[in-house]
Amino acid sequence: MTQADDAPRQAMLDLIFGYRATQLVALAARLEIAERLADGPHTAEELARATGTHPEALYRALRALASLGVFEELDGRHFTLTPLGERLQATHPQSVRPQALFAVGETYRAWAELPYSVATGETGFDRLYGMSHFDWLAEHPEENALFNQVMTAGSAQAADAVVAAYDFGASGTVVDVAGGQGMLLSAVLLAHPGLRGVLFDQPHVVESAEPTLRDAGVAERCEIVSGDFFASVPPGGDVYTLQRVIHDWDDERAIAILRSCAQALGPGGKVLLIEQVMPPGPGAGPSAGRAASLDVQMLIMMGGHERTAAEFERLFSAAGLRLTRIIPTQAGASVIEAERGEA
């Protein structure tokens, strides 16, 4: 067998053992190696003293990380930071440190329930932990704080693209439903000084949202409200935004959320979903692969879906709304606009 003949086998083995990279990157994030290398190269021994780890064992992990391009091994002793590794710094504008830590927590364990989810169509997380992911987060403050960081990081990457793609108007009220720490709402209000905002989410989520709004300089134009979006959302808004919310839920509960928004809409109001839109047929390329993988994540973690345009249209119709347009953004997700349907 030639090396070329063996390439597919090796590629498959790389997929099979992908968990190794996940755990290595999470270790680097947990030990803050990227921060410790920010001032220049360090030896494994120096990093071990700083992190309270075993020097030889840490060297072996750093060598493996260097093979992945996260760090660079200079002379068999010193390690330095690469552009890839810089993204593990908490202060980097494109930081993925929260995602690295989140990936090896309850999410990592829940993925072992994939066979159950595929066999039954049920949520693997619920089977493993005996409750939904959101109920579990409410009982685990540290993990909830990390989850909020992950959601805020995702919102930060998409917020400017959404503001650039959609005209929110010069005045009125924007209600950000399940808006987390308020990253998207802050960007909208910052770009439109005539708008006011309402940040709406569960109590254990919005209790830590004020610093985000204050740092953005929009706290005085924003009200923070907590509640249950299955029951109702704050009424009278002109625009209701839901960023990566509907994909968390099955059709029945997604329709219930959208119905709450439809009932709360002011005259001429709009509901905006910020979601990725799945292609109607086979997709190609990295973005389609990431979307398909995330769709399985939604199945395992929450019982949700990534959806096609036709599937979003059916959800809106069942909730008393009408899809009016889909606006792509530079961040990969689209702004999916709806208004009240015909009476």
HEC string for 294-327: HHHHHHHHCCCCCEEHHHHHHHHHHCCEEEEEEE
Q: Which amino acid makes up residue 115?
A: P
Could you write out the DSSP letters of every residue in 113-146? GHHHHHHHSS-HHHHHHSS-HHHHHHH-HHHHHH
Residue 162 buriedness (CB in 10 A; 0-12 / 13-18 / 19+): buried
Q: Are 178 and 199 in contact (CB under 8 A)?
A: no
Nearest to 175 by CA among 167, 163, 166, 184: 184
Q: Which of 42, 133, 192, 247 is catalytic?
A: 247
Q: Which residues contact 202 (CB under 8 A, 6 or more apart)?
A: 134, 138, 178, 226, 227, 228
Residues forming beta bridges with residue 223, ordered by sequence position: 198
Q: How many CB atoms neighbour CB 183 within 10 A?
A: 24
36-to-71, 141, 237 alpha-carbon distances in Å: 12, 27, 47
- Please give the torsion angle defined by the CA atoms of residues 91, 139, 101 and 29, in that order, rounded to the nearest 10 degrees: 60
Q: Which amino acid makes up residue 150?
A: V
Q: Is 42 a catalytic residue?
A: no
List the Cα angle 40/22/84 in 5-degree steps: 35
- Tell me which residues are annotated as active site: 247
